[in-house]
Each structure stands twice: as C-alpha cells, then as structure tokens.
C-alpha cells in the first residue's frame, strides 16, 4: 500500500499508473477499431469482442491500482455471481469522477464490460475518446433549455443517438451504464435544481426508458447500484489520488425487467407516467440507502430537512422585496 506516502507523491504515482494503463489499452482498442474500419464493418462482432477483452484488461488494472494506492475500507453488498453471457442495464447515482473507477473495479469480473453514455466533448480527447468510440460507446450532446427553445429540432438528438448505439450491441453481451441524474451531485446543484432528495439529484427517466425500448428483450435485468464515500464526501476523486480514500460503500441489487418496464416513453403517456413513478420510488429507496451508508439517524435527517425548509421559506419571504 502506498497510502503512507506524502499526498503529492501519491498523486504523481497514481496519475502515472492511470495514464500508462489507460494509454496502453487505448492504443490497443484504437488498433482494433482501425482494423474494423479497414474491413468495412465486416466481422463487427469479432472486433467488438476483441475490444471488450482489451477493456476487461483495463478494468482489472484499475482494481489493482486502487488497492495499491489506497488503504480504503470497501463495504460492498454484492449478492450476485459472475455472469458474462447476458446483457444488463446498470443505473447508479453519480457523485464523482471516481464513480467510474469504482464501478470498473467492482465489475471487472462480474459482468460484461461496462459501456457508458458519454458527453460528446470526450470524443475529442486523444486516444481515450477514440477508444470509447472503438467500443461503440454512445456520445451524447447536452443542450441548454435556451438552445432547445431556439432549435427544437435538436430536442430528440440524444434519443436517436441512444437508439443507434443500443442497436450495435444486439447479439453481443453488454452492460450499459447510465447515471440517470445526468450530473455529479453537489449540495449546490441539489439546491439549485430543487431536488426533493438530500443526497441525490433528481433522476431523468428518458435515457433509461429509451435504452430498454431499443434493446428490447436483450436486457435481462437492471443492476441498481448505490455508491457512497461517507468519509470523503467533498472531494473523493482528489482524495483517491492522494491516497486518502478511507471508505467505499457500494450496494448492488438486481431488478427483474417486467413487461410494465417496457414501452414507448415518447408516445405512450400512460407508460411515461408509470415509468417515471417507478424511477421515483427507486430513487426514494436509494436515498434511504445513502442515509444508512452515511450512518445518519432519523433525528439528523429531520434536523437537516427542517433547516432546508427554513431556508426555502426565507428565500420565498425575500422574493417580493426583490
């Protein structure tokens, strides 16, 4: 373990290991993607399986790096066994850039290699973006509400991109990873968005519903993941780099995909309401799990809830004079 080293030295070592490891696998996946282009798309499944093997190697190296550089206490609830031949949809809360590395470490040998929905800007990151493209990961554009009002034709661009990406995974065991909150959690973002939760942002159901619709029966189960870094709540990724990550709490449960979870989110209003309600209940349960991971009591929760309500009332009282 290197956590005894000075923080600056641990940061240098951790970054070096991450960069070397990521660069190596990126080169390999880019080479596979180039060969696939040279073959004009022939043998797509063979090339994507080869790229997935490279990705599996990266997942295992990330797990080793996390163990070497940090002496963290991993408290994991993982009541599932290894299964690589089926496809899964993984949904998780989003706290930090560290989330991706934690999921990589946990699922290195449990499920098909994870595929993430990424911001379109990451496509232009040298080698990393190209490698993600070689793995057929979908790149989504994020438009502001103001931009969409001026360009309504762009409203469903991400949905179509998600559908096209999901079609590429047909017949290949896949684990799609979605962060329904759409952004990393911070208290400031929570308050600005008026999230009804204390530890979570409000989830957006569209991407999940479209993924379920696009891949149809290929997804066997939903993997519901709850992440928490109770002793490093403010800067978990920076603390990880410095070797100061103390505890990682992760809870995993599988949810059967029943017929009521499948439908057309964009055209069926009844399905849209029922799916949104299902996701809301799921997030309420996740909120309770987060409170338990943080060791909060009911009195603490009531006190903070009362404080937030008092602040909201204060803001409302000041608004007329403004």
Structure tokens at 76: 């994991």
Helix %, strand %, coil % for the chain, to 5?
Answer: 55, 15, 35
Residue 36 has pLDDT above 80, yes or no: yes
Residue 70 has pLDDT above 60, yes or no: yes
Computed on alpha carbons and rounded to an integer, the radius of gyration of the chain in Å comes to: 21
Least confident of 19-28, 68-77, 120-129, 142-151: 142-151
Taking phi over 0 as left and psi of -120 to 50 as alpha, with beta for the rest, 135 belongs to alpha
Three-state SS for 74? Answer: strand
Instruction: Count other Cβ atoms within 10 Å, centred on residue 289.
Output: 19
pLDDT category of residue 134 using cuts at 50, 70 and 90: confident
pLDDT at site 284: 96
Q: Are 242 and 11 in contact (CB under 8 A)?
A: yes
pLDDT at site 272: 92
Average pLDDT, the chain: 83
pLDDT at site 309: 43
Residue 1 has pLDDT above 60, yes or no: yes
Chain-centroid distance, C-alpha 317: 38
Q: Give the end-to-end CA distance of the chain in Å, rounded to a whole number.
A: 56
User: What CATH number is given for 7-296 in this structure?
Assistant: 3.40.1130
Closest to 92 measured CA to CA, from 292, 299, 255, 312: 255
pLDDT tens, residue by residue, 139-198: 776 666 676 667 676 666 666 666 676 667 767 788 889 999 988 999 999 999 899 999
**CA within 13 Å, CB half, 41:** 2
pLDDT tens, residue by residue, 197-244: 999 999 988 878 877 877 667 788 899 999 999 999 999 999 999 999
DSSP state of 136: T
**Rounded to the nearest 10 degrees, how much is the dihedral formed by the CA atoms of 232, 236, 239, 243?**
90
Bigger pLDDT: 120 vs 98: 98
Closest to 183 measured CA to CA, from 175, 174, 192: 192
Residue 103 has pLDDT above 80, yes or no: yes
Three-state SS for 115? Answer: strand
pLDDT tens, residue by residue, 235-289: 999 999 999 999 999 999 999 988 888 888 878 899 999 999 999 999 999 999 9
Q: 19 Cβ partners below 8 Å, 6+ apart?
A: none
pLDDT at site 148: 61
Three-state SS for 131? Answer: helix
What does the pLDDT average to over 49-75? 94
- Buried b / exposed e along 162-187 (16+ C-beta atoms within 10 A): bbebbebbeeebbbbbbbbbbebbee
Residue 316 has pLDDT above 50, yes or no: no
Backbone angles phi, psi at 182, to 5 degrees: 80, -10
Backbone angles phi, psi at 125, to 5 degrees: -75, 120
Structure tokens at 109: 């040998």
Least confident of 57-66, 89-98, 134-143: 134-143
Instruction: Count other Cβ atoms within 10 Å, centred on residue 269.
Output: 10
DSSP state of 225: E
> What pTM value is reported for the model?
0.82
pLDDT at site 83: 81
pLDDT at site 133: 82
Structure tokens at 151: 């360009």
Query: Which residues face 118 on adjacent strands?
Result: 139
Bigger pLDDT: 298 vs 117: 117
């Amino acid at each position: 373990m290197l956590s005894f080293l000075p923080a600056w030295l641990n940061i240098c070592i951790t970054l070096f290991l991450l960069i070397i490891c990521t660069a190596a696998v990126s080169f390999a996946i880019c080479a596979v993607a180039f060969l696939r282009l040279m073959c004009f798309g022939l043998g797509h499944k063979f090339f994507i399986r080869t790229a997935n093997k490279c990705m599996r190697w990266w997942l295992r190296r990330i797990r080793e790096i996390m163990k070497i550089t940090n002496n963290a206490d991993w408290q994991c609830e993982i009541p599932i066994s290894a299964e690589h031949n089926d496809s899964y949809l993984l949904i998780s809360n989003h706290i930090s850039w560290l989330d991706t590395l934690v999921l990589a470490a946990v699922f290195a040998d449990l499920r098909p290699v994870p595929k993430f929905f990424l911001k379109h800007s990451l496509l232009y990151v040298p080698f990393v973006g190209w490698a993600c493209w070689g793995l057929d990961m979908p790149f989504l554009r994020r438009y502001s509400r103001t931009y969409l009002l001026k360009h309504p034709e762009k409203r469903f661009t991400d949905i179509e991109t998600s559908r096209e990406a999901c079609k590429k995974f047909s017949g290949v065991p896949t684990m799609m990873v979605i962060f329904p909150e759409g952004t990393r959690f911070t208290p400031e973002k929570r308050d600005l968005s008026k999230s009804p939760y204390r530890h979570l942002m409000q989830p957006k159901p569209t991407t999940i519903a479209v993924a379920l619709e696009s891949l149809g029966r290929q997804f066997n189960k939903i993997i519901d993941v709850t992440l928490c870094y109770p002793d490093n709540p403010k800067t978990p990724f920076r603390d990880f780099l410095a070797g100061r990550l103390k505890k990682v709490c992760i809870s995993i449960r599988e949810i059967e995909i029943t017929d009521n979870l499948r439908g057309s989110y964009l055209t069926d209003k009844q399905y849209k309401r029922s799916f949104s309600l299902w996701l809301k209940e799921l997030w309420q349960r996740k909120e309770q799990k987060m409170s338990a991971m943080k060791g909060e009591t009911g009195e603490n929760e009531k006190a903070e809830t009362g404080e937030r309500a008092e602040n909201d009332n204060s803001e409302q009282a000041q608004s007329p004079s403004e």
